[in-house]
Structure 1
Amino acid sequence: MRFSLIFSSGGLVITYEYPFNERIRTLLRLEDLFDKASYFVEQEGTREHHVVLLTLFELLEVAGRADLKMDLIQELERQRQTLLVFRNNPEISEEALSGALYEIEQAATALLGMTGKMGQYLRDNDWLMGIKSRAVIPGGVCQFDLPTYHYWMHQDSAVRREALLSWLKPFMPLRNGLAIVLRLLRGSGRMEHQVAERGAFQMMLGGGGAQMVRVSLELHEPYVPEISANKYALNIRFTCPDYDHRPRHAESDVDFDIVFCNL
């Protein structure tokens, strides 16, 4: 489950996203990793750049799914065909439509230009793979284990950033493609207000085609949704977090908003 914070007229709102299938789970995981890498690569410190390198290794593992690139290309093409239907529609901005189509076409072309196995250039880098193999060991990247990495970390931050960006750059078509797909997915649903009586909510879905559900509530509300779902039923159990003991089930009614998303 992924969450995000947004501002609304009523205050700060926290949104939890729960994917219904492995395909959307993979896209959300990649989005989270790309966001983390993009943030930390702009920092100056060695610890922040170490996080980027660890995140790069995670990207390599998650993006290694053989059919991921083709899935994105096919979805982008499907969305392009859907948008083409709105050509010459007086209720649709032709400029906005052309911009969306151009963005999709550019993303698909860049994905098609990615040759070979995803991230193979990293696997062929013995130095990086040496760091990766040590990074899974607790404390395994100390200077006495990896003296060349220790040396690299003492280079100027601009030198490290240039190297990190060069290792991240080949993944960018993947990031751009999944960003479009997830944006369309998140914008596909209609928000509904619901109430979980005494912290419990259930809805029958009847085998519908939802691919993700988004649950939003005011941040000041001391509740966290525990979501379980499939194409037939959705169950949400709101709990009160307790960081020393097991979470307690909410005893009062919980107001929340829900959106079912489907491409």
Structure 2
Amino acid sequence: MHHQESLTTHSSTSVRYEHPLNERVRTYLRFEALFRQMHHNAKMGDQWQHQLFFRAIFDTLELLDQIQLKAELVKDLDKQRIKLKQWLNIENVDQNTLLKLLDELEKRHHELLSAPRLGQGLREDRFLCSIRQRFSIPGGTCNFDLPSLHHWLHLSEEEKSADITRWMEQVEHASAALSLWLRLIRDSGHYIEQQATQGFFQDDAPDAELIRIAIETQHGVYPMISGHRSRFAIRFLPFSEEGEIPEKLAFSLARC
């Protein structure tokens, strides 16, 4: 399950869940989660948040060693650009919004093409290389294991901020391009009210790449989603042992 987020309304709180329908989107959602962790913890001044920042960097590098993210994103941004151009000069289409999106796609596409190998500066950073291996060991970041990290954590805020900015620049273009692509995918689907019977729902999603679900927390359930390509199934399960699934369970579904 990916990209869980809360949505508060005047009457209730809903939780949104996402499930990718192909391996490429699954990988993109994982990168998005890691980039968000990096951005969030980079802003924190506490040493424990800084350690979460480093862990996100190293998880990102691990994933980058397996996936050619830059090449995949360049191709997908180009496909989106071609798709959106088909809407130019079509009646009832907001041309100003469309042109802004095309400009943004062009910008992100150019930045990616012009950028050096993704994450190379992180791989070659002497300090990061010296501490990376210990982060894979449970409890391996104690100060007696990593005195160099302990020293860095006690540098001035200005020195740490400069290092963090330099490291973040290594993934900035990929993060921005990925955010744009996922935004376009998410915006392509609209939530529709649905009902699960005895906690089960299945349907087709032709041409969709992502399933999004919103369900109110008061129901006390969460979805287990399985799906690939155009077919998916949802089984809602009670969170607590005493919880029960109603005969008819309302939720919202978007095919993106």
TM-score (norm 2): 0.91
Structure 1 gap ranges (5+): none
TM-aligned CA deviation for residue 249 of structure 1: 6.4
Aligned equivalent of 1:16: 17
Matched, 1:216 2:214: yes
Q: Given that residues 196 and 250 in structure 2 are in contact (C-alpha distance below 8 angstroms), is that contact kept between their aligned partners in structure 1?
A: yes
Q: 1:157 to 1:50 in 2, by over 3 A?
A: farther
Q: CA RMSD in A?
A: 2.0
Q: Aligned partners of 1:194, 1:14: CA distance in 2, in Å? A: 15
How far apart, in 2, do the equivalents of 1:36 and 1:220 lie? 28
Matches within 5 A, 1:183-202: 183-202=183-202
CA distance in 2 between counterparts of 1:38 and 1:121 reads 17
For the Cα contact (< 8 Å) 1:122–1:167, is it kept in 2? yes
The count of residues paired between Structure 1 and Structure 2 equals 255
Counterpart CA distance in 2 for 1:179 and 1:232 is 24
For residues 26 and 232 of structure 1, the distance between their equivalents in structure 2, rounded to whole angstroms, comes to 18
Q: Judge which range, 59-68 or 76-85, deviates more.
A: 59-68
2:182 paired residue number: 182
Question: Which segment is superposed worse, 148-157 or 230-239?
Answer: 230-239
Partner Cα distance (2:15, 2:235) in 1 = 16
1:66-89 Cα deviation digits (max 9, x unpaired): 432122111111211222223334
CA distance in 1, matches of 2:139, 2:96: 54
Q: What amino acid is aligned across from residue 64 of structure 1 in structure 2?
A: D
What runs of 5+ residues in structure 2 fail to find an aligned partner? none
Instruction: State the match for 2:250 in structure 1.
Output: 255
Contact residue 208 and residue 230 of structure 2 kept, 8 A:
no
Query: What is the rounded CA distance, in whole Å, between the counterparts of 1:77 and 1:61 in structure 2?
Result: 26
- Cα distance change on mapping 1:158 and 1:45 into 2, 3 Å: farther
Give 1:255 deviation, angstroms.
Answer: 0.6
| CA positional deviation for 1:228 | 1.0
Change (3 A) 1:94 1:251: closer
Q: Distance in 1 between matches of 2:36 and 2:46?
A: 18
| Amino acid paired to 1:39 | H
Q: 1:219 to 1:251 in 2, by over 3 A?
A: closer
Q: Which residue of 1 aligns with 2:143?
A: 143
Match of 2:169 in 1: 169
- Give the whole-Å Cα distance in 1 for the aligned partners of 2:189 and 2:66: 28
| Seq. identity, % | 29
Listed one character per residue, the Cα deviations across residues 17-64 of structure 1 (whole Å, up to 9, x for unaligned) are: 000111101111111111121111111111111111111111112233
State the secondary structure of the residue aligned to 2:176.
helix
In structure 2, C-alpha distance between the alignment counterparts of 1:28 and 1:191, rounded to whole Å: 20
Cα distance between partner residues in 2 of 1:199 and 1:90? 42
